[in-house]
Amino acid sequence: DAGVIQSPRHEVTEMGQEVTLRCKPISGHNSLFWYRQTMMRGLELLIYFNNNVPIDDSGMPEDRFSAKMPNASFSTLKIQPSEPRDSAVYFCASSRGGAGTGELFFGEGSRLTVL
Amino acid sequence: AQRVTQPEKLLSVFKGAPVELKCNYSYSGSPELFWYVQYSRQRLQLLLRHISRESIKGFTADLNKGETSFHLKKPFAQEEDSAMYYCALVNQAGTALIFGKGTTLSVSS
């Protein structure tokens, strides 16, 4: 298994542009998480899906951020319009049975730079 | 409020020295705590969980409810232990992990 797959690995864009980050979770995992990592704030949970349904999106910074999970094997995180303060590494993680087991499997991350 | 605090951004030790990575938490009730590690050019991965009371790669962590701490310890550091270490807590809703800001461990010879 290739593990959690994220794309793109790196994205450089200009302020105001739309950014779409993609994630393919591990097959059979029913929980999917999007985290954002910055130097100042560390790893922050953005949104959590269970069985493709958004359960907790309280970490989504503002309306410019949206996330979808149309099926069990694909999720997107969209930022529109992007701003320089959105520059960060965005991680997708999946697990079998939610966070209670504590074992989240992380992707390699998407490093976003907004100029 | 539920929170994980890792007070040290960087910890530098010599090979063979003892290591203690600090983690403090705030939580109502019985917390579920974990340590994650990210080696250079590798993915963030689970190192150990408090409920298992296990030793992984020589590391152990004991939950101290009185001090609300879950420090990660290893008696003799190795160069291959150099990595970023994150302490994590299952949130009150049981839906996700809350991470500390991480501590970079640097082990030199």
Residue B39 has pLDDT above 90, yes or no: yes
Ranges of residues in chain A whose predicted pLDDT is under 70: 1
What pLDDT is recorded for position B1? 79
pLDDT given for residue B68 in this prediction? 95
Interface contact A34, partner B, CB < 8 A: no
**Surface of A (72-91) touching B: CB under 8 A:** 91
The whole-angstrom separation of Cα A54 and Cα B44 is 23
Strand partners, B35: B48, B87
- List CB contacts (< 8 A) between A106 and chain B: 43-45
What is the pLDDT averaged over residues B59-70?
A: 93
Closest CA in chain A for residue B35:
A102
Cα A56 from chain centroid (whole Å): 13
Residue B80 pLDDT level (bands cut at 50, 70, 90): very high
Nearest residue in chain B measured CA to CA from A36: B99
Question: Which residue in B43, B45, B97 is closest to A99 by CB distance?
Answer: B97
Who wins on pLDDT, A88 or B53? A88
Question: Of A29, A91, A66, A23, which is closest to residue B88 (Cα–Cα)?
Answer: A91
Q: Does A106 touch chain B (CB under 8 A)?
A: yes
Sign of CA dihedral B40, B44, B50, B55: negative
Query: For testing the chain B interface, which of A53, A104, A105 should be mutated: the one with the most B CBs within 10 Å?
Result: A104
Q: Do B95 and A43 touch (CB under 8 A)?
A: no
Q: Which residues have C-beta within 8 Å of that of residue A92, sequence separation ≥ 6?
A: A4, A6, A21, A23, A25, A32, A33, A34, A35, A75, A77, A106, A107
Identify the band that residue B82 occupies on the pLDDT scale cut at 50, 70 and 90: very high
Q: Can you tell me the mean pLDDT for B74-93?
A: 95
Instruction: Please count the residue pairs, one from chain A and one from chain B, whose beta carbons lie less than 8 angstroms apart.
Output: 58
